[in-house]
Structure 1
Amino acid sequence: MELRRVEESIFKVLMILSLLIVVGSLLGVIGTILWKGLPVLSIDMLTKTAEGGYYLGKGGGILGAIAGSLYLALGGTALAFFLSIGIAFYLQKEYSGGTRLSNMTRLSLDILWGTPSIVYGAFGFAVMMYFHMRA
């Protein structure tokens, strides 16, 4: 019984140490980004569109990149939301009657949800390399 308490204390200390390492690393990365990035961040950079040689040190800003990211995120969210509502209703047994297609779809979704996203990324990268595509 005493060994169990000693083990528990040791692993609790290890858990707290690992938490401190992870949080410290995160704060270090965020701190470095803010320390090096805040001096060059200006309102002009955020509100102007990019000019010809922005990435070569010339004038301009990142407004186009911010707007493009927002448009892409909002469009993807809207598309996924409306598709998912229809699919969710279809997959309910009360509405689909438990058809073979709905059962196969449910099984496929269970398999997809259980796969880590890094596997999808690696598979997509392998397909792109096979077809000699550029990212």
Structure 2
Amino acid sequence: MARKKKPEPLSGLSRRETQIMEILFELGEATVGAVTERLPDELSPNGVRTMLMILEGKGRVTRRKEGREFFYKPSTDPAIAGQSALQQVLRVFFDGSLKQALQARFTGEGAAPDAAEIAELEALVREAKKQAKKGEQP
């Protein structure tokens, strides 16, 4: 029997669900109150609680109880969620092109990379070239 594939961390979510997931990724774990405080527009604690229960039902968050409070956290590792989000941004805004995304990053107003960032990127490119020669994925 085939294993059920986990959903992409932020795909298929409403705007509000995505906002809540972003807050949880930022904080690592949070109560209803902490999420409510960080939302960009107003939603009652009961509304946040309902959204978190929906996200839990979708398998996107888990919760644990400590005293009288529930703490919610993403069920996906932040690094995996970040990779997924980056792939989505590349696909939607840059036609899948990493080159176009980097050009946009480095040519926008106030976006010039500093020497340290350039050195780090050069090191990443060198490593990617080594792996490509070996036939590996970076």
| TM superposition score category, shorter chain reference | under 0.3
Say which one has the larger Rg: 1
Structure 2 length as normaliser, TM-score?
Answer: 0.21
